Amino acid sequence: MKNINVSLLFFALISTLFSNELDSKKYNVVFIAIDDLNDWIGPLGGNPQAKTPNFDQFAKESITFNKAYCPSTVCGPSRSAILLGKYCYNTGVYGNETNLKDAPLAKDLETLPEYFGNRGYHTLSSGKIFHKHRKSDGTMDHMAWAFHEHVPENAKKWGLEWEILPKLEGVKAYGGDVKWGATQGKLEETKDFVTMDWGAKQLNRDFQGKPFFMALGISQPHLPWNVPQEFFDRYSLEDIILPEIKMDDYEDILTKDGKPVYGKEDASFTILEHHKMHRDATRAYLANVSYVDACLGHFLDQLKKSPCYENTIVVIWSDHGWHLGEKKRYGKVNFWEESARIPFFMRVPNLSPEGVQSDAVVNLVDMYPTLLDLCGLPENQENDGRSLVPVLKDPSIEWNEPTVITWQRNNHGITDGKFKYIYYGKSNGAEEFYDLKTDPYEHTNLVRNPEFSQLVDQYRKYLPKTNVPTSPLNKNHKGYIKRMKELQEKKKQKSKS
């Protein structure tokens, strides 16, 4: 009897040690960022015309967050907030002209990959993760995100055949702008495919026993919309269905003095409307979404075949959305759903149920504390977000605290996925309030409707109490340089007059 008990104790001890060894084995992390992708993918249903088989398949293997929002609706501040786990109104990084490593309140904080790297992970990256971030500051063990580091020689000659948006006299277009075209090269020669292929090749590397944190950035569907012809061919121009556009959409958006906030639509919309090219632009964006799907699918297929698949967390997200004519806009930088709501998926082996959708209200600043929690790393006390592990374990859990979206200082959107409150700071005091269930395109501003006054007051309480000053601008940024030239030109014109 004693021998049996000793044997049982021995096997129990071995089992416990084995179990502890499994528990202590750190997850790898694959962190995939996509630029300017809105909800026009199969799992989110933003546009039923979108052909995204790889997103569709990944949604069956992960959790899809239906109510995920970006911390800001432009690349620089959004990515800075995500990678610091800290809202822009606490760092002063409000625009693309500020590098987070130059911001006084952000420069000494550990970014997400730094935090992992400083605690035993091998960190590596390719593609756009940071925005205008210096490569030499030691953020990762290996940053191969410069295209020329791993692009095939022939891919540098891939070429373009542009379909440039015609100019319209008297209208200054929004930047460099809404233009698109098919590349002459093959899919395998394009930048984003090369980035994802590079990532796939790292999966079988030996990192000397370390777990890895790999960040991969896909640049499309950021303008210009240039992808191989095969992706344009997936969509017939004649069959394109346009988003719902309301031409008097701005009439109920007023300043505190009762003046219109938006005089007219943006310039790109004006030009596309004049030339009747809305369908062309919509088709081009859809082609880019399908291209992103193909690049993503290539990497995910290789991940499934790799030995690390069963121990690797995969997070897929977009830094913000994009308007395709809705609200008479082609672009971002506002608080409406097309700009603020984004794709967000997480696959956590042996923890999360697969193929489910969650209506939990999340902000991408939550990714930082969530990944630390999942990987058994200590909390970062600087994080503003909260761990989503309870949601990952039970996607049906009630998780509906309103979240904050910021664009420039003192301007915020507050939403819980049911209602949206927008406040344009002290400059003009404009407010908006929408019922997202009955009015998903946010056509009817309810802020002056007395029936909603108490509800509006509830959302106002979530406005940040403090908005730290804007951080110094990066003087090498093209936006800053352009702004300075414009100011100098105005001074010259003023002195002449």
Structure token pair of residue 88:
């822009």
Give residue for tokens 């399908």.
290
DSSP state of 162: E
**Rounded distance, CA 260 to CA 387, Å?**
40
Q: Are 193 and 298 in contact (CB under 8 A)?
A: yes
The amino acid at 439 = D
Q: What stretches of 259-377 adopt beta strand conformation (E)?
A: 312-318, 323-324, 330-331, 344-347, 356-363
Structure token pair of residue 423:
């406040």
CA dihedral sign, ordered 425, 75, 385, 94: negative
Structure token pair of residue 218:
């896909």
Cβ neighbours of residue 478 under 8 Å, at least 6 residues apart?
none
Preceding omega of 469 cis (within 30 degrees of 0): no
**Rounded distance, CA 194 to CA 190, Å?**
6
Which candidate in 75, 88, 295, 375 is catalytic?
A: 75
**Rounded distance, CA 131 to CA 147, Å?**
15
**Rounded distance, CA 467 to CA 465, Å?**
7
DSSP state of 475: T
Q: Find how far residue 381's CA is from the centre of its chain.
A: 24
**Rounded distance, CA 302 to CA 487, Å?**
51
**Rounded distance, CA 256 to CA 1, Å?**
86
Q: Are 128 and 136 in contact (CB under 8 A)?
A: no
Rounded to whole angstroms, what are the CA distances from 233 to 161, 163, 178, 346? 15, 15, 19, 31
**Rounded distance, CA 37 to CA 245, Å?**
20
Q: Where would I find the H helices in 309-349?
A: 337-340
Which helix (H) or strand (E) is 285 found in, with range? helix 278-305
Which candidate in 70, 88, 131, 323 is catalytic?
A: 131
Q: Are 70 and 87 in contact (CB under 8 A)?
A: no
The amino acid at 226 = N
Q: Are 396 and 413 in contact (CB under 8 A)?
A: no
Known catalytic residue: 131? yes
**Rounded distance, CA 252 to CA 448, Å?**
9
Catalytic residues: 75, 131
